[in-house]
Amino acid sequence: MSWSTVVRMSVGVLAVMVIGLVAFIGLIMTSLGGELPKLDGATALYPLYAAFAQAVYLTGRIRPTAATALSRAAAPHPPTKV
C-alpha cells in the first residue's frame, strides 16, 4: 500500500468521524429544544453542513418545495457579517 493511499484513507476516516460528531451535536441541540441555527459558511464545509442538516432539519419541521429551492438559488447571497 502506497503512502498516498494511507493518507487518503486517513483523511476519509477523519472526515466521517467529524461528520458523525456534527450530526450527534445537532441531535443533542434539537432534543434540548433549542432554535435551529442558520447555516451559512464556506463551500469547503458543505459536507459538514449536510450531515448536520440531515440530523437536525429533516425531522418533519421543514418541507422544502421546488419553488423554494429555485427562488433561493436565483437570489443573490447577502454578505456574511463578521
Q: Please return the burial class of 22, using the count of CB atoms within 10 Å of its CB with bins 0-12, 13-18 and 19+.
A: buried
On whether residue 82 sits in a domain, the answer given is no
Q: How many domains, the chain? A: 1
Q: What integer pLDDT is reported at residue 16 of this predicted model? A: 78
Average pLDDT of span 28-57: 68
Please indicate, yes or no, whether the overall pTM of this predicted structure exceeds 0.75: no
Q: Is residue 81 part of a domain?
A: no
**Residue 80 counted as domain residue:** no
- Identify the top-confidence range among 14-18, 55-59, 61-65, 72-76: 14-18
Residue 41 lies in a domain: yes
Residue 24 resides in a domain: yes
What domain range is 58 assigned to?
A: 3-74
Is 54 a member of any domain? yes
The Cα-based distances of 46 to 15, 31, 41, 54, 60 in angstroms read 12, 23, 8, 12, 21
Domain presence at residue 29: yes
From CA 52, how far away is CA 46, in angstroms rounded? 10
